[in-house]
Amino acid sequence: MSKLDKESVIGISALLVHAAKIDENYSDHEKEIIKEFIKSYLKDENSDKILKKGEEIEKNSNQLLNYTNIIKQNSLEIKKDIIEHLWKVLISDNTVDQYESNLMRRICGLIYFSDKECAEIKLNLLNSK
């Protein structure tokens, strides 16, 4: 897996927080999924601290573009990993509403990630539950 720098991980964590909050139910389970993402890139960092920073950024910004520009510049491998973590957050409560689906479509469009691959990642996660 290629590396993301700390600032990128914080920004992407903010996007994951945004995805978690879109259904107005930000659960501990979703926080754990986001911390798992953080740990996968920043093994030596305190994932709670980074999550807090991501939550602050998310609270103060309604600009999705800030987060997606970071992702757009990365490899397909990293994009897939981020999309997978976004879906993990969204399906953690066993429902995906229209706002969540719309968010994923918008993110995929902004980072030039195919809808087909996005749907395959979602299906794989649903099938492995």
First to last CA, the chain: 24
pTM of the model: 0.92
Residue 17 to residue 126: CA distance in whole angstroms: 20
The per-residue pLDDT for range 65-85, each reduced to its tens digit, is 778 888 999 999 999 999 999
Share of the chain above pLDDT 90, in %: 78
* CATH dotted code for 6-127: 1.10.3680.10
Encoded tokens for 117: 């691959």
